[in-house]
Amino acid sequence: MKHFKTIAVFSYSAEYAVLQLLFDQEEIRYIFMNEVMNSVFPFYPNTIGGIRLQVHIDDIEQAAEIIKNLDYPSSLKIV
């Protein structure tokens, strides 16, 4: 795990579901720390700092770009 760095922290698995699919699609090496604890004890990860997204150091730039694009306001509108 020494080649992985935390780049984001989440409280619930629903917050990163799409992100996980995009990372798999781009073959980005990642791991979610404390993810299992969240499914067993839903509020426990909050006491230990949330669910941490750790990305391999060689993939950090690409992962950060994907996260940035997800946060960018969409031009799509609900009609």
pLDDT in tens, the chain (79 residues): 789 999 999 887 888 888 999 999 999 999 998 877 766 766 665 666 788 999 999 999 999 999 888 876 655 555 5
* Residue 77 placed within a domain: no
DSSP run (H or E) holding 75: none
Residue 43 lies in a domain: yes
CATH code for the domain of 34: 3.30.70
Q: What is the pTM of this model?
A: 0.76
Task: Give me the number of domains the chain comprises.
Answer: 1
Looking at residue 42, its pLDDT comes to 64
Let me know: does 51 contact 10? Beta carbons within 8 Å. yes
pLDDT of residue 15: 83
CA nearest to 9, candidates 22, 19, 21: 19
- Residue 76 lies inside a defined structural domain of this protein: no
Give the pLDDT score at 46.
61
Nearest Cα neighbor of 16 from 1, 3, 31 is: 31
